[in-house]
Structure 1
Amino acid sequence: MAIYEITADRLRELEETSYAKAGVKERNDLQRLLRMQVEVISPDTLVIAEEFGEWTEGSRRIDLLGVDKDANLVVIELKRTDDGGHMELQAIRYAAMVSAMTFDRAVEVFSGYLNKIGSNTDAREALLEHLDWSEPDEDRFAQDVRIILASAEFSKELTTAVLWLNERDLDIRCMRMKPYQDGEKILVDVQQIVPLPEASAYTVQIREKERRERKDRAERYSIRKRFWTQLLNYANTQTDLHSNISPSEYHWIGTGSGVRGLAYTYKLTQHTSIVDLYIDLGVGAKEENKQIFDTLYAQKDQIETVFGEPLDWRRLNDLKASRILFEMNGGYRDDESEWQPIIEKMVDAMIRLEKALRPFIEKIKTSV
């Protein structure tokens, strides 16, 4: 995409050039100018270091290191090349290296930078003022590291990698700084190309939604595994029905009944729990599943008398499987202090269900 000058009689195209051809150097020119006007590529950012490389090991250096208004660190990597090289890989290494920086360490780094450029500004007060804090807040400082990549152009491989990384919760922006020649003047067209500015807000919302969903999913899996662990520990003191299985992260655990395709399962939702006999002999066995269900349903009154309560008989005519279940209040999202009574009800219901169905399943076992 070219840049044009509007004249009285035409649009005059400006000549695209390169930094090398224009005699613009990466460190002495681009980096020097951007450290003084970092808002050109990273608004609301305070530069706290240049050529920062105080690592435990390694000799590479961050071109510019900043802090944004949200107290996130900002790693800025600059390249004069026409494709960006492998700058995203370098920047990710740098981000990892500075990710543990504390507020006090940032003040030390900033103070050294201010001394280097001949400024008498108090580093601590300047950083607090930038963050609009009256006192340091270590719990909020450097909770994330953002990455800004600035280059004359970016290869497709680089932008593809950045898009993929951003989908996985990194925050990397590609700022294209394309140089143009206009006589003796060198002009720079600065554009954010990843993510596209018009999509940035939406992208952030989607990323935040996905982050919450992943966190909720991980939390849900962890809670359910704790619930099943507690249930199996208790169940194994009452019956050996599920003694051969391990806790699961999923919403159900089950064990065989002695007949292929018939399983006794515990199931959980957030605030309800279920015990059931699940009937599914596998692919192509729909009719056989329904026949087994009908055989048991013919003994419904006797089964429910032994069980002690009405059961929910689900033939599920349009589906392959069938179920005989009992549903109760109480699930894994109830307070953990209330889990034990829920678990005791579930295990009691499972023992009663297995006892009520056992003689009829034995008959099915001998007939298959």
Structure 2
Amino acid sequence: MFRVDRTANRISRLTQKRFGDLALRERDHLQEWLVHQPDALGEDLLILQKEFDGFDETRERLDLLALDKSGNLVVIENKLDDSGRDVTWQALKYAAYVSGLTRTQIVDIHQQYLDRHCGGKNATQSISAFLEVEDLSEVALNPGNGQRILFVAANFRREVTATALWLISRGIAVQCFRVTPFAMGDELLLDLQQIIPPPEAADYMIGVSSKEVEETAIQGTQKRRHDLRQQFWTKALERLRADGVKLFANISPTKDHWLNAGSGVSACRFQMIFGQSEARVELSLARSEGAENKWLFDQLFTRRAELEAAFGHAMEWRRMDDKKQSRIVYAKDFDGYDKDSWPDMLDWLSEHIRKLEIAFSEPLNKIGRAINLQDESED
């Protein structure tokens, strides 16, 4: 690694260091860096637990247990200056141990972590927010053979890299990251690079080797629910067109549990929600600046009585101070996964999304114009 001196138009080599020489320790330093910056490993990961020792009849400890965006468990093993010879066997044992964890156990493990390190936040909400789902039952946690292994070390022995490549060829998702500290004066820099599989070949290697796992994961509950939502939204859009509701005229059916339509104020959307136990209509304030969402919400809230009278019902006003977004919601209980309920749900959604648009479009746009929040085109 080099430092660029643009004034002199020269480069100078940074001094590569060893963790041991810097008195840095695996658990106190490298592990904590990754806990607080897991995307340093090239993707969004949710740390479920650290120093996990919940294995029956063994005192072994897994460095980090994480969750990826597909609901797969990720075993992360950290070493400092040398990977050691046995790290692959160690990680395989841990992957085997966690392969049997159920949804309830995963939530309990994460709750223990949150209670100890994060002030007792709710584990179900934490995982749901990370996976971007309304209800955790909508996704498969720890599906099939989807467990993954990540190794992090400054140097990898040949037996480790050879084993990792062999495991990849057998459909086991393994990645190796080389972590290297560098000195620049009194400042310490860290280089973290994926070396196995090589980034330029990762998609091909992983795609070929995990084809069977992927095909298996596609089947089952999640796929059925995606198909069900696609069918529902197809019928919903047909119903809206028949009722003359133009708000969603240019929207196509999706596999998601929501359907968005623009309001005229960028990133402030009218939404219909298809849930397992309810249907909802809502105004979602989701601009990139959280302060703008809260300001818009507060401005609308001052007119709550007028807006609810125009809508025809009392609504749930969710300012959500701990989140960037805010929402104004009206919901009704339905058994969404029972197709016999769909005619009533479609009636209800068609009626209330129309009422929501009529009640909120003009006030929202008027407020938006007052501070120039409108964009030339709705996203």
TM-score (norm 2): 0.53
What is the rounded CA distance, in whole Å, between the counterparts of 2:166 and 2:54 in structure 1? Answer: 29
Residue pairs, 1:42-191, within 5 angstroms? 42-137=42-137, 140-143=140-143, 144-191=146-193
Structure 1 unaligned regions, length at least 5:
215-368
Other-structure match for 1:206: 208
What is the rounded CA distance, in whole Å, between the counterparts of 1:10 and 1:40 in structure 2? Answer: 29
Q: Are the equivalent residues in 1 in contact too, given 2:45–2:69 (CA < 8 A)? A: yes
Measure how far apart 1:169 and its partner are: 0.9
Measure how far apart 1:187 and its partner are: 1.2
User: 3-state SS of the aligned residue for 1:165?
Assistant: helix
What is the rounded CA distance, in whole Å, between the counterparts of 1:183 and 1:29 in structure 2? Answer: 20
Other-structure match for 2:199: 197
Other-structure match for 1:360: none
Task: Give the partner amino acid of 2:45.
Answer: T
What is the rounded CA distance, in whole Å, between the counterparts of 2:150 and 2:71 in structure 1? Answer: 15
Measure how far apart 1:178 and its partner are: 1.0
Task: Give the partner amino acid of 1:203.
Answer: M
User: 3-state SS of the aligned residue for 1:43?
Assistant: coil
Q: Are the equivalent residues in 2 in contact too, given 1:6–1:12 (CA < 8 A)? A: yes
Task: Give the partner amino acid of 1:5.
Answer: R
Task: Give the partner amino acid of 1:94.
Answer: Y
Measure how far apart 1:132 and its partner are: 2.1
User: 3-state SS of the aligned residue for 2:58?
Assistant: coil
What is the rounded CA distance, in whole Å, between the counterparts of 2:111 and 2:121 in structure 1? Answer: 8
Partner deviation per Cα, 1:210-251 (whole Å, 9 max, x = no partner): 76899xxxxxxxxxxxxxxxxxxxxxxxxxxxxxxxxxxxxx
What is the rounded CA distance, in whole Å, between the counterparts of 2:150 and 2:190 in structure 1? Answer: 17
What is the rounded CA distance, in whole Å, between the counterparts of 1:104 and 1:211 in structure 2? Answer: 23
User: 3-state SS of the aligned residue for 2:67?
Assistant: strand
Structure 1 residues 202 and 16, CA gap change in structure 2 (3 angstroms): same
Measure how far apart 1:86 and its partner are: 2.1
Structure 1 residues 70 and 212, CA gap change in structure 2 (3 angstroms): closer
Other-structure match for 2:350: none
What is the rounded CA distance, in whole Å, between the counterparts of 1:174 and 1:47 in structure 2? Answer: 18
The share of aligned pairs that are identical, in percent, is 33
Q: Are the equivalent residues in 1 in contact too, given 2:168–2:206 (CA < 8 A)? A: no
What is the rounded CA distance, in whole Å, between the counterparts of 2:116 and 2:140 in structure 1? Answer: 28
Measure how far apart 1:206 and its partner are: 1.5
User: 3-state SS of the aligned residue for 1:137?
Assistant: helix
Task: Give the partner amino acid of 1:45.
Answer: L
Does residue 4 of the first structure (1) align with residue 6 of the second (2)? Answer: no
Task: Give the partner amino acid of 1:46.
Answer: L
Measure how far apart 1:84 and its partner are: 4.2
Partner deviation per Cα, 1:242-296 (whole Å, 9 max, x = no partner): xxxxxxxxxxxxxxxxxxxxxxxxxxxxxxxxxxxxxxxxxxxxxxxxxxxxxxx
Other-structure match for 2:354: none
What is the rounded CA distance, in whole Å, between the counterparts of 1:83 and 1:102 in structure 2? Answer: 30
What is the rounded CA distance, in whole Å, between the counterparts of 2:85 and 2:116 in structure 1? Answer: 29
Measure how far apart 1:188 and its partner are: 1.1
Task: Give the partner amino acid of 2:44.
Answer: D
Aligned pairs, number: 212
TM-score (norm 1): 0.55
Task: Give the partner amino acid of 2:170.
Answer: R
Structure 2 unaligned regions, length at least 5:
217-379
